[in-house]
Amino acid sequence: MVLREIFDGRVQMVIGGQTEGDHALKGHLTPQRRPAHNLGRVLALINRLKVNCVVPEPLFTHQIVNPNSDHFNHASIGPRELENHYLLLQPIRPADGCLLVAGGLGAGICNADCPVGILFSPQTGRGCLLHLGLRCLLELNGSPNIIERAIELMGERASRLAFWAGLGIGACCYGYPPGSEMLELVRRQYPGALLLDRRVSKGPRAAVQPAFVAVDLGALILDINVKLGGFDQLQLDSGCSACKQDASGSRTFFSHTYGDSPQRNGVMVRIL
């Protein structure tokens, strides 16, 4: 899959999900604690794709190699350079991503509900692959959200960047119980993402009482876009990865909300 609309064909993306489809591949990624093993699994998946989107040098962030359910871990804080090619965003209270500082480099990320983001600078050719879970998108304990932090590390401003976000759970399936701490954090920082008059209508959380208040991560990302003064190009995939189905009625992607743990979707991105 080449993202042409906003990246001028300079960014390639391959997605491995639960079922066959335009952007999915049979098989799944099981999180492993040893990076080499996980990378081998991903390469095996990518090599099965019959398209010209092979990512030759995938590199996983610490959190993706050793993920856990709440997206916290105890890795060292701050960026870390590797071979002068990559700048990893080690969990930044708590967040993760990978900054690609040269063309021809690839990065990988695993997800199951949390959106994926791609930042790209046409001027410098730098890109950044981001994990956009709710905690990553909020400012916690004085730390900026992951998008702001990535832009800072790229040495750019939003108005010079193209940004794509997608492959995440929709408000139809995602939310929190009334009065929860997470809802209060969203209400204070990005009230546009909190759908107070709407409840989760699909999936396991729809059956919970009291009814969960729906949270729209796409709307939250749009609020961040406004806060940053607007990206030069912005493309938001508003579909729900959790309940999306293929032609046969099977769910296309793995979702922890739907009980698919520990399986995850694999997203590989290459800057040309």
Query: 201 — alpha (psi -120 to 50), left (phi > 0) or beta?
Result: alpha
Cα end-to-end distance, the chain, whole Å: 13
Residue 171 and residue 11: Cα distance in Å, rounded? 28
Q: What angle do CA 198, 17, 150 make, to 5 degrees?
A: 70
Contact 14, 106 (CB under 8 A): no
CA proximity to 269, closest of 30, 151, 103? 103
pTM: 0.78
Per-residue pLDDT of the chain (272 residues; tens, 9 = 90+): 445 578 888 887 767 676 533 333 333 333 333 333 344 444 554 454 433 333 333 333 333 332 323 344 333 334 444 444 444 444 443 446 666 666 666 666 777 899 999 999 999 888 888 888 898 898 887 778 889 888 888 889 999 999 999 989 999 999 999 999 999 999 999 988 887 778 999 999 998 888 999 999 999 999 999 999 999 999 998 789 999 887 788 888 888 899 887 677 777 777 77
Q: What is the pLDDT of residue 103?
A: 65
Q: Is the peptide bond before 178 cis (omega within 30 degrees of 0)?
A: no
Q: By the 8 A CB rule, do 17 and 27 touch? A: no
Of 85, 103, 96, which is closest to residue 8 (Cα–Cα)? 103
Q: How far apart are CA 21 and CA 37, in angstroms?
A: 26
Tokens of 46: 């990518």
Q: Do 31 and 69 touch, CB atoms closer than 8 A?
A: no
CA atoms of 202 and 140, how far apart (whole Å): 29
Radius of gyration of the chain (CA): 18
Please tell us whether the domain made up of 4-169+218-271 is placed in CATH 3.40.50.720. Answer: no
Of the candidates 233, 167, 236, 7, the one whose C-alpha atom is nearest the C-alpha of residue 103 is 7
Q: What is the pLDDT of residue 168?
A: 94
User: Contact at 8 Å (CB) between 253 and 26?
Assistant: no
212: DSSP letter: P
Query: Which residues are 90's β-sheet partners?
Result: 78
> Do residues 256 and 168 touch, judged by C-beta distance below 8 A?
no
Spatial distance between the Cα atoms of 87 and 103, rounded to a whole number of angstroms = 14
